[in-house]
């Protein structure tokens, strides 16, 4: 197994600070000396069954920071130091059959001459960024690169949030037509996605804003503006997720109210039928007793007379309930 495979190095680049850059192989990374101008970007993947000796022992990163980088379930956050910063961001999982709420973590260590990033799962924004390095201008400063990556991560959240908004619109349109048993499972999934996504991406706004307050020379005014723009977009996504959750609750209330109204109508019909047939049942039961003295036992016309009286009573009660607007 080669050294990059055991160390987890995916990308190595050296940028000259003027818009140019070149790839670094593992030998160049291992023997990298002091950097006079520009900076170096090293991108690693987390290897569960490898000690990753260079990253753990030769990178110069504080062990506590390194422990946070190797942790998969880190929340978005930013820690600023004298001349460096540690930033954790979340990226949407665009892999096939992946759930939208399964966000991926990107850990970044930024100092005066280096950016060291680490991922646990492949992140599409990183792959696109590497592709752009080969055909476009390379970053001139660490701040430019971090702000670019931050915007790329946020860009990939946009279609996911838009898809949830569209689904909420469809459920609102269907609430008056579809059956509750068909909508409730979809509504539960929508609420779960909105809650989980909000929990994961809401701290990202604070992390980006905090990083934009870094006062090192490698973070310029334009980079701060782009970072704040990314943070504002995350805030907008958070508000839209709150809106989706509230709309889902409103849709559920509408379905519950509609079911309650249908049940009330059904109960009213049953009550009316019961009230109409209760006296009929009483009279028919009274005349159906098998005892002596029942009026009309010997009269062949009494059956038709009683039947006519019962029908008239039923029609009268129906007319009364209709006048009272009970039915």
The secondary element (H helix, E strand) that includes residue 58 is: none
- Sequence-separated (6 or more) residues with CB below 8 Å from residue 109: 61, 65, 69, 84, 85, 86, 115, 116, 117
Average pLDDT over residues 135-158: 90
* DSSP secondary structure letter of residue 94: -
The structural domains of the chain, with segments of one domain joined by +, span 3-257, 265-323
Q: What is the distance, to the nearest Å, from the Cα of residue 47 to the centroid of all Cα atoms in its chain?
A: 28
Instruction: Determine the Cα–Cα distance for residues 190 and 168; give it in Å rounded to an integer.
Output: 8
- Identify the residue with better confidence: 77 or 277: 77
pLDDT of residue 40: 94
**Is residue 50 pLDDT above 80, yes or no?**
no
Average pLDDT over residues 62-71: 86
Question: Between the CA of residue 177 and those of 53, 154, 249, what are the distances in Å?
Answer: 62, 36, 18
CATH number for region 3-257: 3.30.460.20
SS3 9: strand
Phi-psi group of 60: left, alpha or beta (phi > 0 → left; psi -120 to 50 → alpha; rest → beta)? left
The C-alpha angle with vertex 164 and arms to 161 and 170, in degrees rounded to 5, equals 145
Max Cα distance, the chain (Å) = 125
pLDDT of residue 189: 87
**Is residue 5 pLDDT above 60, yes or no?**
no
Q: What are the beta bridge partners of residue 77?
A: 88
**Is residue 144 pLDDT above 70, yes or no?**
yes
Average pLDDT over residues 296-301: 72
Average pLDDT over residues 188-206: 89
Q: Work out the pLDDT band at 254, boundaries 50, 70, 90.
A: confident
The CATH-assigned architecture of domain 265-323 is Up-down Bundle (1.20)
- Identify the residue with better confidence: 53 or 51: 53
Rg (CA), the chain: 36
pLDDT of residue 1: 44
**Is residue 38 pLDDT above 70, yes or no?**
yes
**Is residue 3 pLDDT above 60, yes or no?**
no
């Amino acid at each position: 197994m080669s050294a990059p495979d055991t160390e987890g190095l995916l990308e190595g680049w050296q940028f000259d600070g003027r818009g140019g850059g070149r790839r670094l192989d593992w030998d160049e990374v291992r023997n990298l000396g002091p950097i006079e101008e520009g900076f170096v970007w090293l991108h690693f993947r987390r290897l569960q069954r490898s000690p990753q000796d260079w990253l753990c022992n030769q990178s110069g990163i504080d062990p506590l920071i390194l422990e946070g980088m190797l942790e998969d379930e880190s929340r978005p956050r930013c820690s600023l130091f004298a001349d460096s910063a540690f930033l954790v961001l979340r990226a949407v999982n665009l892999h096939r059959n992946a759930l939208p709420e399964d966000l991926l973590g990107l850990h970044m260590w930024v100092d005066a001459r280096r950016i060291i990033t680490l991922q646990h799962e492949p992140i599409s924004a990183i792959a696109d960024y590497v592709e752009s390095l080969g055909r476009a201008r390379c970053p001139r400063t660490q701040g430019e690169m971090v702000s670019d990556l931050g915007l790329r991560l946020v860009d990939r959240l946009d279609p996911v949030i838009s898809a949830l908004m569209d689904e909420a619109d469809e459920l609102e349109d269907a609430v008056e037509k579809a059956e509750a048993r068909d909508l409730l499972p979809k509504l539960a999934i929508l609420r779960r996605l909105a809650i989980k996504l909000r929990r994961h991406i809401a701290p990202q706004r604070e992390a980006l804003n905090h990083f934009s307050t870094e006062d090192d020379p490698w973070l310029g005014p334009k980079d701060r503006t782009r970072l704040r723009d990314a943070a504002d977009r995350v805030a907008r996504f958070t508000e839209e997720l709150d809106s989706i959750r509230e709309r889902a609750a409103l849709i559920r209330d509408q379905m519950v109210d509609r079911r309650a109204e249908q049940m009330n109508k059904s109960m009213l019909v049953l009550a009316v039928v019961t009230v109409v047939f209760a006296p009929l049942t009483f009279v028919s039961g009274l005349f159906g007793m098998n005892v002596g003295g029942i009026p009309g036992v010997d009269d062949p016309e009494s059956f038709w007379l009683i039947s006519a009286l019962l029908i008239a009573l039923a029609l009268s009660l129906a007319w009364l309930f209709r006048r009272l607007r009970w039915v």
